[in-house]
Amino acid sequence: MPSKISISGGQFQDAAGNPVASGHLVLTLSQNANVSGTAQVVRANPITIDLDSSGNAASTAIWGNDNLTPSGTTYNALVFDVGGGIVYGPETWSLTGAGPIDLSTVTPATSSVSYSGAVVLAPTGNQSVTVGDILPASGNSTQALGSTAAPWNIQARSLNTVLFAENFSGADIGAKINAAYTALPSTGGKIVLPAGSQSMSTAVNFATASKPVLVAGSVAGSTVLNYSGTGAAFTFNCDQGAGGMQNLSIVGPGSGGSTTGILVGGTNGAAHHVFDGLRIESFGTGVSFGNSAYVLMFRDCRIYGNGTAVNFPSGLTNSGENITFLHCVFSGNGGTSSDVTLVGPGGLTFEACSFDQSHLVLSNNLGSGCWCQLVNCHHENPQAAQTAAWVQNNGYYFVEMNGVYINDFTTAPTNFIAATAGDTVTIGNVYQSSSGTVAAAVAVGGNGRFTAFGTRQGFGGVTAQYSKSSGARINVRDTYTGFDLEDIATATHDVAFGVDTQGSNPNRVRIGGAMPNLNFYAWTGSGANMTPFQIAGNNSGQLNFLTGSNAAVGSETYSTTMLQLTSSGATIPGTLTVQSATPTGSGSSLGIGNTTGFGNGTSGTAVTTSLKGTGSGPATPQTVVKYLEIDLAGTKYWIPLVQ
């Protein structure tokens, strides 16, 4: 009676030449058969044989095809990887003769199937895949198709004008990026960089008009470019279009040099670009701008440890429109701050950004069209032992809304904001120092102008909200601080509440609307041709002039009205109190009520009297020269006046 034969081996490999470790060989008889000379049935059920780590089949006993009836039966062979994917097959095998049989020596039963391995490793002609797909090996997400320089790979990886920098020749990644940019069509496209750390000494320059480019690294910033060259590592000077950068880390040679991480703008300009998810570190300047740079977005970027974080230089043309930094962090490194410096004309917006160890320095003439606005930004600790103001406005139109200033260092800044020129406007800012003393949250000097709306009270070591020098102007409106003149220690002039009264009367304080009780302390102003204090409207409250350590009201001499109460009606009810002061002055010292009745009496009317009381009046009766008209409940009386 015939007996089974033993089969083993095979050294099965996948298409990449890797052993099919822990896979399976499945043999299926082509049909049910009988063992020759017997009635024993051999059914066409799959026989599964395990493969070891080298892709060899375990020794297994099966019926040889030459011992089965009818003659001509074969085995259908398939090899599966550990995940159940077909590595190759099906193949048709005829297993005959005495065993054991090494499967690596098996010849297929027909010429239409390949040898064991399913892929001919050195074909003499072209091969076609007519059934199924080419799939990656188990555990792989991609399948190599030969050399990356092969024509089919270049074509497959250039779909939708997307080029891969690693496919191009060059001394370093910078040279490869330049080569890829040259290969892009005239309308531009996208260049993808490989993951990992890359050396880069060649500067990248995108300088073809109307050919924008988007440079993209791997996800999570795993692409790191270490720049060791000079000048700007990346220059975007390619005109308008959907260009920019994303998911990259660019590391320079050091913050003390003259290198720049990214330069945006130039002869061709740069507009409608987005720079997203970047880390720019250790350059002389992190980000800088050139001519015709506008409508730009920097989003979720960390600009860290540069000599200057962002620089908007002077002398630019057609730059500055809608340049926005959104949700970015500007920070220093060690004991050195990395500042944001804006000098040139134009406007930049910072929204939801953090200035950590970074000053904001604004320097230019307001007439040059320079402006900057901050919305919901956070300022904290621009490096230890630095007392300079965190925001320094030396000429811009600067507006900040809902800013938060927090100092945690023992050495606190003298001021959080210093405005020596230009206009500074804050809305709803909060100032706090938990360690160290801040003399005043905002200091206004030179010819700076400052306006605050809804400012919150300073906390911790913030001694005063505001301070100013002569010539500067402060205008505080709708404040939550209980702000009054005492808060400005050196407020010599130009402090307005409610209504700004600059112009012909630059030194007065005017309050409009009903005021139940208003106090002015230690006012020492002087001047001519002005009304020092004016209450306008129907005011039923009380106005007090109180003495203090300084000169009291009344000690100065004025050439016009010192105090004027006016309203749309005939009188202003209420009380006027002057304490410890005797008002003096030329002209009318005090006018109350309707004074239109002053005028000359009837010509030649003589009024005589023989009594003049005990006063120091004239020695003889005089002629009336004027009358004083008094209206009491509609009845008019005239008091004659003699001179």
pLDDT in tens, 264-302: 999 999 999 999 999 999 999 999 999 999 999 999 999
- Quote the pLDDT of residue 297: 97
Residue type present at position 227? Y
Task: Please say which residue of 466, 499, 532 terminates a domain.
Answer: 499
pLDDT value of position 345: 77
- Residue 349's pLDDT band, with cuts at 50, 70 and 90, is very high
Best mean pLDDT range from 13-27, 142-156, 256-270: 256-270
User: Which of 241 and 147 is assigned the larger pLDDT?
Assistant: 241
> For position 469, what pLDDT does the model report?
85
Task: Please give the share of the chain, as a percent, with pLDDT higher than 90.
Answer: 38
Q: Which residues of 610-620 are buried (b: 16+ CB within 10 A; e: fewer)?
A: eeeeeeeeeee
Residue 324 β-bridge partners: 297, 349
Strands 509-512 vs 354-356: parallel, antiparallel or unpaired: unpaired
CATH of the domain at 370: 2.160.20.10
Please check the confidence at residue 188 and state whether its pLDDT lies above 50.
yes
pLDDT of residue 523: 36
Whether 362 and 382 share a structural domain: yes
Q: What was the pLDDT predicted at 587?
A: 39
* DSSP designation for 38: S
Q: Has residue 318 been placed in a domain?
A: yes
Do residues 353 and 428 share a domain? yes
The whole-number pLDDT of residue 590 equals 39
pLDDT of residue 125: 67
For residues 551 and 299, the model is more confident at: 299
Per-residue confidence (pLDDT) for residue 466, from 0 to 100: 84
Q: Is the dihedral of CA 631, 633, 635, 637 positive or negative?
A: negative
State the Cα–Cα distance between residues 217 and 69, nearest whole angstrom: 64
As a whole number, mean pLDDT of residues 145-153 equals: 60
Indicate if 535 and 477 belong to the same structural domain.
no
Asked whether residue 159 carries a pLDDT value surpassing 70, the answer given is: no
pLDDT, tens only, 392-444: 998 889 999 999 998 887 778 889 999 998 899 999 888 888 878 888 889 99
Both structure tokens of 369: 């069209």
Domain count of the fold of the chain? 4
The mean pLDDT value for 564-586 works out to 39
CATH number of the domain within which 45 lies: 2.170.14
Q: Which of 346, 330, 319 lies closest to 287, judged by CA? A: 330
Question: Given this model, what pLDDT does residue 222 score?
Answer: 86
d(CA 243, CA 250): 17
Tell me phi and psi for residue 178, to 5 degrees: -60, -40
**Distance of alpha carbon 77 from alpha carbon 29, whole angstroms:** 9
Print the domain residue range for 302: 215-499
- Does a structural domain hold residue 256? yes
**Do 439 and 565 reside in the same domain of the chain?**
no
Tokens for 171, please give them: 């001394």
**pLDDT tens digits, 28-46:** 999 999 999 888 899 999 9
- Whether residue 228 is found in the same domain as residue 317: yes
Residue 486 confidence class, pLDDT cut points 50, 70, 90: very low
pLDDT of residue 121: 57
Query: DSSP readout, 355-401?
Result: EES--EEE-S-GGG-EEEEEES-EEE--STT--S-SEEEEEEEEEEE
Please identify, among 74, 105, 136, the residue that sits at the C-terminal boundary of a domain. 105
**HEC assignment per residue over 158-195:** CHHHEEEHHHCCCCCHHHHHHHHHHHCCCCCEEEECCC
Q: How confident is the model at residue 628 (pLDDT cuts 50, 70, 90)?
A: confident
Cα 466 from Cα 456, distance rounded (Å): 12
Whether residue 336 is predicted with pLDDT greater than 90 in this model: the reply is: no
Average pLDDT over residues 492-516: 35
Q: Which pLDDT belongs to residue 281?
A: 95
Residue carrying the six token digits 């302390």: 521
The mean-pLDDT minimum among 92-106, 422-436, 536-550 falls in 536-550
Q: Among the listed ranges 38-42, 152-156, 401-405, 553-557, which one has the minimum average pLDDT value?
A: 553-557
Q: Is the pLDDT of residue 117 over 90?
A: no
- Same domain? 299 vs 256: yes
Question: Using 50, 70 and 90 to split pLDDT, how confident is the model at 569?
Answer: very low
180 inside domain:
no
CA distances in angstroms from 207 to 188, 261, 267, 571, listed in the order given: 11, 16, 9, 76
pLDDT at residue 411, rounded to an integer: 79
Predicted confidence band at 146 (pLDDT cuts at 50, 70, 90)? Answer: low
**Residue 289 placed within a domain:** yes
Structural domain includes residue 165: no
pLDDT tops 50 at residue 482: no
- Do 243 and 340 belong to one domain? yes
Please, what is the average pLDDT of the chain?
75
pLDDT at 473 over 60: yes
The reported pLDDT for the residue numbered 618 is: 60
The reply to whether 526 falls in a domain is yes
Which of the listed ranges 100-104, 158-162, 524-528 does the model predict with the highest average pLDDT? Answer: 100-104
pLDDT above 80: residue 375:
yes
Q: Are residues 255 and 290 in the same domain?
A: yes
Least confident span in 215-219, 314-318, 527-531, 598-602: 527-531
User: Is the pLDDT reported for residue 142 higher than 80?
Assistant: no
Same domain, 538 and 418: no
The answer to whether residue 255 sits within a structural domain is: yes
Regarding predicted confidence, which is higher, 521 or 45? 45
Gap between the terminal Cα atoms of the chain: 161
Residue 508: its pLDDT value, please? 36
Residue 386 has a pLDDT of 72
- The answer to whether residues 4 and 61 touch, using CB atoms and an 8 Å cutoff, is yes
- Same domain (yes/no): 585, 607: no
pLDDT (average), residues 579-592: 39
- The structure tokens 């350590």 sit at 549
Q: Are strands 391-401 and 360-362 parallel, antiparallel or unpaired?
A: parallel
| Arithmetic mean of pLDDT, 633-638 | 78
Same domain, 290 and 379: yes
Is 170 a residue whose pLDDT tops 50?
A: yes
Is 536 found in the same domain as 426? Answer: no
Q: Are 82 and 22 a contacting pair, CB within 8 Å?
A: yes
508 near 484, Cβ under 8 Å? Answer: no
Q: What is the pLDDT of residue 615?
A: 56
Distance CA 385, CA 335 (A): 9
In terms of average pLDDT, the best of 215-224, 227-236, 394-403 is 227-236
Decide: helix, strand or coil at residue 181. helix
Among 193-207, 259-273, 389-403, 627-641, which stretch is predicted with the lowest mean pLDDT? 627-641
**pLDDT band, very low/low/confident/very high, at 314 (cuts 50, 70, 90):** confident
Residue 197 within a domain: no
Of 82, 105, 128, the domain-final residue:
105
